[in-house]
Amino acid sequence: QLRLSSGRTPPGPGGPPFLGQLPAFFAKALRFGRRFRFHLYLQGLSRRFGPVTAFRLGTQRFVLISGHAALREALIGRGDAFGYRMDTPFFRYLSRKRGLAMSDGPLWAEHRRFAVRAFRRLGLGGPQAEALIEAECRSLLDALADALDGRASAEVDASDLITRAIVNVISQLLFSTRADYSDSELSEYVSHLSTLTHGDFVTLLITCYPWLPIRPMLALSSGARALDRSNNWVLEFMRTRVEAVRAGRMDPNFWTDPDSQPANYVEAYLLEQQRQLRETGSVGTFDDYQLYRSAYDIYLGGTETSANSLRWLLLMAALHPDMQRRCRLEVAAAIGTDWRPVSMADREKLPFTRAFIEETLRLVVPLPLGVNSRVVRATEVLGCTVEPSDFVMLNLFATHRDPEHFPEPERFNPERFIEPESGRCRRLDQAVSFGIGRRACLGEQLAQRELLTLFGSLLSRFRFELGDAEKAEPERLEELMLGSIGLIRAPGDHRLRITRVDWSDEKIDD
């Protein structure tokens, strides 16, 4: 086979044929038991073998890219080779390589460009998105106030309400609809979401032995069937929502009038579909299935990531009461005591609150290993060759623990995001929670808006403390801080004590 790269094989641990690192992986899992986490295991490998490491799990070779220099070289310097997603028969079966997150090549490029344009047209960076998030913020605050049930303070599991609020923001963006927090279909979606984002033994097996035939896997494994069922359920859910949007426009001229203004993403797509049909006689790649899958990716991509980030933010606020108070006072000074939700116009007045959010995302890394990808041709990174047959993992988690860029990396220190001279909040290039390069997160702007508005507004209305059980049992707290196992890092189950903020108290304390 013609080799186009002269780099060396990335260093890494060996392992027996057919198993590779699986025995070492399971030995670690047994040793650490409930405290075992894949991203911590991979952090150990990156520390031992360097920024580009290769290892085998089962029959599959993985290349792990860690640290800002290696990520930059791969995803920006060699972005044309790296902008491809992992391709296995099972993931191909689930996604048909359509949509936005799992597709590749020209199809992905065309639809990513469209999505960026559509988000802009729908005002994702402007007042429309703001109004939508603010309205949902009010509903979330009301739901939390209801959970207090007239008491000044109570222990509450806010997790579910947070997911529902975030789902509603995405749902408004895609379909201009929202659901009541008690809606049963929303509950069903939330349960499928959990199947799709929490890894289990089956996901590990089909990743380590990607050649395993799909039909027997589905017949033998209840986990594979659950994944398949949830995938189909969410896809069908998207189809019915899309069709409701299409049917909702009574005036058929709306779809053919080039000047029609879309109210949501689905309308923007359907208008583009009609434009292609008018101009070329075919819808091209803008078919209905691509729309269902794109809606699926935006819905899924924008739900658990943002919802978990908000859960982590409240937990961090509970763990750091002085900093929580500093954020609250900053928000109060920005919005005044005549309450309204925090908005992007308040940004400059909220440097510490924003730094608190940045630091939480740095320490937590909601998607610690990014989204698995591959290269389209043999490509060198820091002198090591990555082969097209490799699965590439982005070690975002370890990148945020590089002491050269983040001194005392395990310490929660929002000040690192504050410019010493001006006191303003700054972005750090080495903070890569949303990924970098061509496949970086499509929803970063929306996520940043959601987090600032929801977190700032929640702090202005409630004080958050750890629940009694978490306070009493340090091991429990330690475990919940380890986060869940799976693609997305969620804090373990916990309750927070929520207390209404009494502004007069705040001023007295000051």
Tell me: does residue 434 bind ligand HEM (CB under 6 A): yes
The two tokens of residue 37 are 């986490």
DSSP 8-state assignment for residue 337 = S
Could you report how far apart the first and last alpha carbons of the chain are, in Å? 71
Tell me: does residue 301 bind ligand HEM (CB under 6 A): yes
* Cα distance between residue 419 and residue 487, in whole Å: 33
Q: What share of the chain is helix, strand, coil (3-state, %, to 5)?
A: 55, 10, 35
- Closest residue by beta carbon to ligand HEM: 443
Tell me: does residue 164 bind ligand HEM (CB under 6 A): no
CB of 392 within 8 A of CB of 82?
yes
Q: Are strands 384-386 and 379-381 parallel, antiparallel or unpaired?
A: antiparallel
Tell me: does residue 306 bind ligand HEM (CB under 6 A): yes
- Which of 88/221 has CB closer to ligand HEM? 88
Least Cβ distance, residue 314 to ligand HEM (angstroms): 14
- Which of 107/319 has CB closer to ligand HEM? 107
Q: Say how many CA atoms lie within 13 Å of 73 toward its Cβ.
A: 15
Least Cβ distance, residue 95 to ligand HEM (angstroms): 11
Q: Give which of 367, 301, 287 is closest to 101, Cα–Cα.
A: 301
From 194-202, 226-234, 268-276, 431-439, give the range in contact with ligand HEM by CB under 6 A.
Answer: 431-439
- Which of 112/461 has CB closer to ligand HEM? 112
Among 141, 158, 202, 298, binds ligand HEM (CB under 6 A): 298
* Cα distance between residue 142 and residue 218, in whole Å: 43
Among 223, 443, 483, 486, binds ligand HEM (CB under 6 A): 443
Interface residues for ligand HEM in 364-393 (CB under 6 A)? 366-367, 370-371, 373
Residues 6+ apart with CB under 8 A from 57: 20, 21, 22, 25, 204, 207, 208
Tell me: does residue 467 bind ligand HEM (CB under 6 A): no
Tell me: does residue 63 bind ligand HEM (CB under 6 A): no
Tell me: does residue 442 bind ligand HEM (CB under 6 A): yes
Q: Is residue 409 classed exposed, middle or buried when 0-12, 13-18 and 19+ CB atoms within 10 A define those classes?
A: middle
Tell me: does residue 66 bind ligand HEM (CB under 6 A): no
What letter represents residue 344's amino acid? M
Least Cβ distance, residue 371 to ligand HEM (angstroms): 4
Least Cβ distance, residue 172 to ligand HEM (angstroms): 11
Site for ligand HEM, rule CB under 6 A: 100-101, 112, 297-298, 301-302, 305-306, 309, 366-367, 370-371, 373, 394, 433-435, 439-443, 446-447
